[in-house]
Amino acid sequence: MADAPEPSRPSFTAFWKRSKEVLGVKKLRFVDANPGASPGSAGAQDAASEDTAVDKAQIRRVQVRKAQARHRQRKANYVKQLEMDVARLREMIETAERDSQLLLNENRAIRAQIEAAVRSKSLRLSLDQRVSLLKDTPPPSQLSSDTRVSLQPEHDAVTVTLGFDEMLNAARFYISSPPPTSHPPSRQESPPGPDTADLPDLTPSETQAAINFILA
């Protein structure tokens, strides 16, 4: 009995060629996600998606308008607050200027009063010295050709102090003088006649009280 011939084993090269032929013949085919949907329903879906996009755009525009309105309102409020602050600062500056002017006027008035008081004090002191000289001079009826009067005016320093008198409820000048010297002014005159009146001499305290009363 003769042996049957062995079938030839397929080589790798032949397998590769057949695979290329099979893959080259086949083509890719896309499958719809919803196989049962019709072309009309697909158009409706496209229209719905477009409507959704339009709605989103409108909502976005509304949000933008609201944000712009809020921004404008905040800006207006900020500007208004700044204007109020500027007006308040201007009012404070005007008040400070008025107060400064008032203080300046009061300062000038006080200086004028002090200068007037000093001038009045010097004038009154000179008048008081004249009064004392006239008091020491004898009457004209008692003067004769041989009468000699020698007067020596006193030039003592005085101290003027400005204080407040509670009784008068006002400012008051206090004048103090040093004690009298031990050598009073010399006087040579004829003996007084029967009609001559003796004038009492004022003590320093009485003189000071009289001057303070005049200055008050």
More confident site: 192 or 72: 72
- Report H helices in 137-184: none
Cα separation of 207 and 110, whole Å? 28
Average pLDDT over all residues of the chain: 68
- The domain segmentation of the chain, as residue ranges, is 49-135, 156-179+202-216
More confident site: 167 or 119: 119
Cβ neighbours for 195, distance < 8 A, ≥ 6 positions apart = 141
Q: How much is the pLDDT for 83?
A: 94
* Encoded amino acid at 199, one letter: L
More confident site: 58 or 39: 58
**pLDDT tens digits, one per residue of 74-88:** 999 999 999 999 999
Q: Are 187 and 131 in contact (CB under 8 A)?
A: no
Strand partners, 165: 170
